[in-house]
Structures are given as structure tokens and as C-alpha cells.
Amino acid sequence: MVKRHFDYEEKYKNLQGKFEELQELSRSLQFDLTDEFKIMEDKMQDIRDNKYQNLTAWEKILLSRHSERPTIRDYIDFIFDDWIEMHGDRCYGDDRAMIGGIASFNGIPVTVLGHQKGRGTNENLHTNFGMSHPEGYRKVERLLLQAEKFNRPVFTFIDTPGAYPGVGAEERGQAGAIARVLMTLSSLKVPVIAVVTGEGGSGGALALAVSDRLLMLSNSVFSVASAEACASIIWKDAGRAEEMASALKLTAQDIRDLGIADEIVEEPTGGVHKDFESTAKNLQDRLESNLQELLLIERHELLEQRYIRLRNIGKFQED
């Protein structure tokens, strides 16, 4: 049976608790085992570090879905100033799974867009688990064109299982809404920097990933479809999702090696939620560095480089 939760940290906490009980017992019995305990503690930490340095693709998927991972609002609050959220697609409604607005980044006016997940059942129901409807992508298109009009660089934050596959979403033109965002991003005359912070699933993620630079957190994933969906389609068995995860080459390291992602932002041991501030500061520095590079490029050259970048993705040569 496929594992659905990343439970290693819980097991480590239980072991740590028993270790602390043993330490307390030694003190009450007046046994000085300080040196022995230090050796054991270091060994436990080494085992934990080694575990996180050698996660399987499926374990990284589980970690990318961790309920405590920061959401886009956490990154906005930490990285940007003067955030003003904008709502609605001027056609149907406002999608709570996709947020967007304007902000200041080191004094530069920018547009920020991204998927919004929740924490806990109620928040996830409110945000539809980060799965956007067509109105969410139409809102993105509207704000992209606005960013171009006012010459604002664009930052996108990607964290979604995929676009919402419901009947209503299809009736309202889900595929077309995503396609128009892809077309708009491909020719947008301002710098675009995308960041995969958690799940990068299917067309819902791709819609925000067409960019001049693509960054990924080290435990994030990016794939044409979820491992469960692929296993169901290819092997008719969702229970083989763990096996499919490895075949899909969806980890940040795989995506960088394939030439799709430009940089990986390292997370602390245990995931970004273990030390959000240091990871967010590191990400902020990388965003600043990449933006300054892109601002130096003439617009026609920026579009040419983006075109070449996109055309090179997926290119291969047969012997």
C-alpha cells in the first residue's frame, strides 16, 4: 500500500522523547552518562540528516504537500512590502485558490501572483486545496496585462495539485483560460520570475511557470501530472504511485538537470516549515539577484531569450 504521509519526523520526535526520558532517569539515579548521551544524540542527528539528504521522489512529494509548509501569503508578508490584493476576473467571479496583487520589492513596484492553499480542513475548503477555476486564470491574465501596461516585473508562486477538474470549471473554459495565460506570459514585455514552493502539478502549475527564470525549493516537485494520476493512467493502478514518482523525474534536482529550472533554493533539514525565515531570506536574495539581471536586458532581447528558453525545453537528440 502506498504511503500517504511523510511520517519520518513524527518517528524521530517519538525517539527523541524516549531519549529525553532516559536522560531524566539517569539524572534521578545519579548516573553520569553525559558523554554517552552526547554520542547517542550526535548519532541520532546524523541519521536524521542522512535521511533528509537521501529522500526518495515519493517522499519529496509527501514533503511538498506537508500541511505546515508556508503558503504564498507567508512569502508575500516576508519578502514584499505595501501588498495590495486585487480580486476578480471581471467576468464571472473571484477565485480564492489564486491570489494576485501589487507590491513593492526593494523599492520596485511589482505584480505578485500565485496559488493559495490553506492550513487545516476549513482553510483548504475555502481555497479549494489550491486548485484554481477558470476565473482564477482569467484574473492572472488581467493582472499580467496590467503589469505590462505599468511596466511592473512579475513574480509567480506555484503550489497546486493542478487546475480544478470539475464539470463547472470545464464548462467555464478551464483549458482556454490556462492557454491564454500561457500565451500572455510567453510574450509579456516585463521580467517574469517563477518559484515552485511546494507542488507543481499539471497545467495548473504550468500556467504560472512560463518565465525568464524558474526557481524551485529543494523539496518541491514539478510534473505533468500527479504520480497517483500517472500510475492510474499508465499502469491502471494508483497504488504504484511511489514507483511512478521516480519515473516521472519530478524533483527539483531532476527538473534542474533537465534544464527546466534555473536554481534550487535549499530548505533546512526537515523542510521549509522547520525554519521559514532563513529559507525565505535566501529566496528573497535569489529573487533580488535574478531581477537585477533581468532589468538590465533590453525588452526585445528579453523576449528573444524567453523564446529560446522555452523552445529548448524538451529538446532531445536520438543517436
List the grid coordinates of 187.
510574450
**How many other C-beta atoms can be found within 10 angstroms of the C-beta atom of residue 305?**
13
Percent of the chain whose predicted confidence (pLDDT) is above 90: 73
Matching residue, cell 504511503: 3
Does residue 66 lie in a domain region? yes
Does residue 147 lie in a domain region? yes
Enclosing H/E stretch for 206: helix 202-206
Does residue 244 lie in a domain region? yes
267: domain CATH number? 3.90.226.10
**How many other C-beta atoms can be found within 10 angstroms of the C-beta atom of residue 54?**
8
CA distance 82 to 61: 33
Does residue 179 lie in a domain region? yes
CA distance 202 to 209: 11
Q: Give residue 278's pLDDT.
A: 95
**How many other C-beta atoms can be found within 10 angstroms of the C-beta atom of residue 91?**
13
Q: With bands split at pLDDT 50, 70 and 90, how would you rate the model's confidence at 104? A: very high
Does residue 96 lie in a domain region? yes
DSSP, collapsed to helix, strand or coil, labels residue 234 as: helix
Q: With bands split at pLDDT 50, 70 and 90, how would you rate the model's confidence at 109? A: very high
Conformation bin of residue 88: beta by default, left when phi > 0, alpha when psi is -120 to 50: left
What are the C-alpha distances in Å from 11 to residues 47, 249, 270? Answer: 12, 28, 12
Residues 89 and 174: beta-carbon distance below 8 Å = no
- pTM for this entry: 0.88
Does residue 159 lie in a domain region? yes
Q: Give residue 22's pLDDT.
A: 74
Over range 51-67, report the average pLDDT: 88
Closest CA to 128 of 99, 92, 164: 164
Domain that holds residue 259: 61-312
Does residue 5 lie in a domain region? no
Question: Who contacts 60 (Cβ-Cβ below 8 Å, separation ≥6)?
Answer: 219, 220, 221, 251, 252
Does residue 11 lie in a domain region? no
Q: pLDDT (tens digit, 9 = 90+) per residue, 186-234?
A: 999 999 999 999 999 889 999 999 999 999 999 999 999 889 989 999 9
**How many other C-beta atoms can be found within 10 angstroms of the C-beta atom of residue 20?**
12
DSSP calls for 30-66:
T---HHHHHHHHHHHHHHHHHHHHT--HHHHHHHHT-
How many domains are contained in the chain?
Answer: 1
